[in-house]
Amino acid sequence: MLPVTEVDLTTVKYDPGEIEAPYISGFWLKLFVKLVEMPLLGSLIIDQLKKQNKMNEMLRETVIPEPPMFRPEFPPQEPEPGVVFLKEDGKSEDRVDSATRCLPQYDPYSNHSSDSSPFRYWKIRDYAYSYRQRLTTPSSVAEHVISAIEEFSHKKPPTPLLISFDPEDVRKQAAASTRRFEEGKPLSILDGIFVAIKDDIDCYPHPSNGGTTWLHEVRNVKEDAVSVSRLRSCGAILVGKANMHELGMGTTGVNPNYGTARNPHDLERYTGGSSSGPAAIVASGICSAALGTDGGGSVRIPSSLCGIVGLKTTYGRTDIRGSLCDGGTVEIVGPITSSVEDIILVYAAILGSSPSDKISLHPSVPCLPDLSSHENSSILGSLRLGKYTEWFNDVFSPDISNKCEDALNMFSETHGCKILEIVIPELNEMRTAHVVSIGSEAATSMSPDLQDGKGGRLTLDSRINFPLFNSFSASDYVAAQRLRRRIMYYHMEIFKNVDVIVTPTTGMTAPVIPKGALKYGESDMKVTGNLMRFIIAANLLGFPAISVPVGYDKQGLPIGLQIIGRPWAEATILRLAAAFEGLRVETKQPASYFDILKRN
């Protein structure tokens, strides 16, 4: 392998690099798990799978000249134009207030309408207006939220959005919020806003099981995660712990332990994962926002498949203490909402690096795009969007690339920005480096419990993963980190010529849920490869990225566009996402939708 500085990009050929692995479900999945967990036979099976996917060739038979990068390292970045700076160490409520002033002026006469056409979700400012005008109260809304959540939980087969839910706790929070409005003292624009928390993020007094049935036995929740605490200080009403793919180890959201959350646009299809419950509860209109985690697209994939907005922040921009993934090098805690302006408000509340990340990562001062400024249009016109066409078009259905291409063309025609062709080398090496990194870190964090025999209580598709993860050696992990530095170099060189990289969020729309998967789960690496095709760079390299809906395929399923930014450049990708959202002409009400605010 040549040193990265000597690679001639003009000779790079796109390689789709399909994942080689059989589809398995039902009885055959149970049998396969037994085989791979056998000491000798299991090793032979895993070695063969790794050989088919050229993993050993990359990690053990290739000299990688770059030194390892054990977590993202970012060079100093140029300041973003047209932004409002936020006080990272200040109060969450003050940041949210600053964020509110960054938004376009709110017009209650055009926005506060349930009969608008085309369909649009109620936004946080719609709820805030209704509360302040005494059109309704948080307590009244809470009853409709509780009713909708319970309706989902009683479906056959079970399709729970939440796996830890206490209606009385929700009523108590809503009553406190109602009193604050009666006294004229709401804490922020997020006061009385209903938010779901993914089951791998601590939200006291709920347990954090990570979608398992047993993790609460070995891990007690004594307080909120940092991000949850910041939302609570703004008056948000935390409805409970949202369903997820067990331990975040899948992209579909299937969960045989509690039942699988269904896609509100088509209940026979997956939401995407692993933040399945957070995406479904927002897309169905029940909650305005949710928190998820994203270590391999787990916020962006379900947001795209469910037709909503998901933000993956720069690694270290949000404090992930109090989440199950707080020791990893690829994960973040990020918001899921139905609109970009709501993403901005929730992001403002939860942002703020941990003390250790401030020392090691040197984050730039957080800021937001001033969307109310007259300069916004000219700033949009000055941006350069990078597109790797061969990669962009490598999708399961051409509907996806066509819709995303249409959105880019409309954006360029409207704002006059440039779309530049780029080349990204070594995409397969990037995928391998990511799976070794996230897999090794997951295996390390779970090792005490797996050694204690609790691995047998995991779902079958989770159990398949750990023999693979445990097969990675220390030298494999170091080789993956050498690849991380190499691939970081390529991307930072690209970012010298473009401001963002644009791709479809996923390579396919929401897949159908096989009936056999509901009881036992499944292993479908073809689907995983399609869903994660464009996802990995933001995780392995720590870049900010956002998924914003841009249309539907011929079956009426949502399609998302992904915008990947430079390190710490959340303001730029938020500005672009808001602009793409503003140009969108086609919106559809999900088949399973609850008009929570209209019910009042």
What is the set of active-site residues?
198, 274, 298
Q: Which residues have C-beta within 8 Å of that of residue 274, sequence separation ≥ 6?
A: 211, 244, 245, 248, 249, 250, 251, 253, 292, 293, 298, 302
Token digits for 122?
């109620």
Torsion from C-alpha of 93, 98, 100, 103, nearest 10 degrees: -160
Reported for 352-359, long-range contacts at CB under 8 A and 24+ positions apart, including other chains, are: 352/88, 352/89, 352/226, 352/230, 352/318, 352/319, 353/88, 353/316, 353/317, 353/318, 353/319, 354/226, 354/316, 354/319, 354/320, 354/321, 357/316, 357/319
Specify whether the CB–CB gap between 514 and 402 falls below 8 A.
no
Identify the three-state secondary structure at position 140.
helix
Q: In whole angstroms, how far apart are CA 297 and each of 170, 274, 378, 413, 519?
A: 29, 8, 31, 30, 25
Paired tokens of 241: 């712990």
Listed in sequence order, the DSSP H helices in 456-593 are 460-471, 474-494, 515-520, 525-532, 536-540, 570-583
How would you class 502 by CB atoms within 10 Å of its CB: exposed for 0-12, middle for 13-18, buried for 19 or more?
buried
Handedness of CA 564, 568, 574, 579 (dihedral sign): negative
Do the Cβ atoms of 312 and 300 come closer than 8 Å?
yes
Query: Tokens 């530049």 identify what position?
Result: 420
Give me the amino acid identity at 344. Answer: I
Distances 487 to 3, 261, 289 between C-alpha atoms, Å: 11, 35, 33
Taking a C-beta distance cutoff of 8 angstroms, is the pair 263, 270 a contact? yes
Q: Which of 303, 159, 271, 248 is nearest to 511 (CA)?
A: 271
In degrees, rounded to 5, the angle at the alpha carbon of residue 42 between the alpha carbons of residues 38 and 43 is 125
Under 8 Å CB-to-CB from 279, ≥6 apart: which residues?
Answer: 261, 271, 272, 290, 292, 302, 303, 305, 306, 308, 310, 336
Residues counted in the chain? 600
Taking Cα atoms as reference points, which of 196, 35, 188 lies closest to residue 124? 188
